[in-house]
């Protein structure tokens, strides 16, 4: 059983396992969004350790500081992270799935491929919440430890039917590493201010408010019948590529890797064995942005008959191109 403190926390939120709706009594805990003009929140990378193997763990609720069936509490400074999900018109987005994950106090992720650092058997590692009618969400977690050369951060992924999926990261104000963090410093100063938030003394635990703006899918922009041309499985030629050099992050060893492309209406998603399903965004004919997957893009290649025969995954910065041969039509 979870500790009594945790039960009180969950009860106060009005949430259950998996992140159900908040009670209306929580509404007063949220102030007006700092992002009053409701600019879309900047996209950041998924990183190498999004929840994969542990996605099947029964306990992935809004309290990451304990695990169901265990009596211990996660090591580290406990904090509350909360906010609102809105659209660019500042209207709340209800029933959005908000997922977070981060390193534990020792800087290690709860992930099968992160083998460095110290485990914390009481840190849940990731969690999900569902926003209430006012677009509000709330998590109880810990201040993550430092990982590699990165600044301290918490990963977020927000999904809602009819909206583009958003992957981003929350950073801690005043951290020295914010000045040198690679993904953070790819953004403009204005964009950085949207995702760097202060840690404030406001309750039993210190709090961070992180309001997030997601973008609605533009209806009719790209017909669904056009997008279906890209659907299928593509075998990536892995050997000799930059991904082969990153074996410690992506498992393996691999000879080839299946990259699955599927669509739901006018949204298109890619899935790899070592990464969760992630939306890719149409940019022009046969080209999609996959920014959340290590700043990548995808270009589909047609044969002489005009049919899609292969793709090129342009991976990150530089000229890193990984080719994939189409195996089927989905």
CATH of the domain at 283: 2.40.128.50
Per-residue confidence (pLDDT) for residue 314, from 0 to 100: 94
Looking at the fold, whether 190 and 108 belong to one and the same domain comes out as yes
Residue 27 has pLDDT above 90, yes or no: no
Looking at the fold, whether 68 and 188 belong to one and the same domain comes out as yes
Looking at the fold, whether 208 and 231 belong to one and the same domain comes out as no
Residue 12 has pLDDT above 90, yes or no: no
Residues spanned by the domain of 263: 224-326
- Residue 256 placed within a domain: yes
Q: What positions carry a catalytic annotation? A: 109, 147, 150, 153, 155
Looking at the fold, whether 56 and 190 belong to one and the same domain comes out as yes
Closest by Cα among 7, 166, 73, 114 to 15: 7
Looking at the fold, whether 86 and 57 belong to one and the same domain comes out as yes
Per-residue confidence (pLDDT) for residue 178, from 0 to 100: 98
Confidence of residue 28 (pLDDT cuts 50, 70, 90): very low
- Residue 219 placed within a domain: no
- Residue 118 placed within a domain: yes
Looking at the fold, whether 200 and 252 belong to one and the same domain comes out as no
Per-residue confidence (pLDDT) for residue 23, from 0 to 100: 33
Looking at the fold, whether 177 and 105 belong to one and the same domain comes out as yes
Read off the CATH number of the domain in which 160 is found. Answer: 2.60.130.10
**Which of 189, 213, 237 represents a domain boundary (last residue)?**
213
Looking at the fold, whether 176 and 283 belong to one and the same domain comes out as no
- Residue 266 placed within a domain: yes
- Residue 259 placed within a domain: yes
**Which of 161, 182, 213 represents a domain boundary (last residue)?**
213
Per-residue confidence (pLDDT) for residue 11, from 0 to 100: 37
**Whether pTM exceeds 0.85:** yes
Per-residue confidence (pLDDT) for residue 330, from 0 to 100: 57
Indicate the number of domains in the chain. 2
For 138-153, write each residue's pLDDT tens digit.
999 999 999 999 999 9
**Which of 169, 186, 213 represents a domain boundary (last residue)?**
213
Looking at the fold, whether 76 and 31 belong to one and the same domain comes out as yes
Residue 32 has pLDDT above 90, yes or no: no
Looking at the fold, whether 36 and 165 belong to one and the same domain comes out as yes
């Amino acid at each position: 059983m979870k500790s009594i403190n945790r039960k009180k926390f969950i009860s106060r939120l009005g949430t259950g396992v998996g992140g159900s709706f908040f009670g209306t009594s929580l509404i007063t805990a949220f102030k007006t969004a700092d992002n009053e003009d409701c600019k879309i929140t900047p996209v950041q990378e998924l990183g190498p350790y999004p929840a994969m193997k542990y996605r099947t763990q029964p306990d992935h609720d809004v309290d990451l500081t304990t695990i169901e069936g265990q009596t211990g509490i996660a090591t580290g400074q406990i904090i509350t992270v909360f906010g609102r999900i809105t659209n660019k018109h500042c209207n709340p987005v209800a029933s959005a799935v908000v997922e977070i994950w981060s390193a534990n106090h020792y800087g290690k992720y709860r992930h099968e491929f992160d083998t460095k650092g110290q485990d914390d058997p009481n840190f849940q590692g990731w969690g999900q919440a569902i926003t209430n009618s006012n677009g509000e969400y709330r998590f109880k977690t810990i201040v993550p430890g430092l990982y590699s050369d990165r600044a301290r951060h918490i990963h977020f992924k927000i999904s809602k039917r009819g909206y583009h999926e958003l992957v981003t990261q929350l950073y801690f104000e005043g951290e020295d590493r914010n000045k040198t963090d690679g993904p953070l410093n790819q953004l403009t100063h204005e964009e950085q201010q949207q995702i760097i938030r202060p840690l404030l003394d406001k309750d039993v635990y210190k709090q961070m408010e992180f309001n997030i703006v997601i973008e609605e899918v533009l209806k009719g922009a790209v017909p669904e019948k056009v997008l279906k041309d890209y659907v299928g499985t593509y075998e990536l030629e892995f050997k000799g590529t930059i991904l082969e050099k990153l074996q410690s992050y992506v498992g393996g060893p691999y000879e080839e890797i299946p990259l699955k492309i599927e669509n739901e209406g006018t949204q298109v998603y890619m899935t790899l064995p070592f990464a969760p399903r992630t939306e890719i965004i149409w940019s022009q004919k046969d080209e999609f942005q996959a920014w959340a997957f290590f700043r990548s893009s995808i270009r589909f290649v047609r044969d002489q008959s005009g049919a899609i025969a292969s793709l090129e995954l342009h991976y990150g910065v530089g000229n890193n191109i990984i080719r994939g041969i189409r195996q089927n039509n989905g």
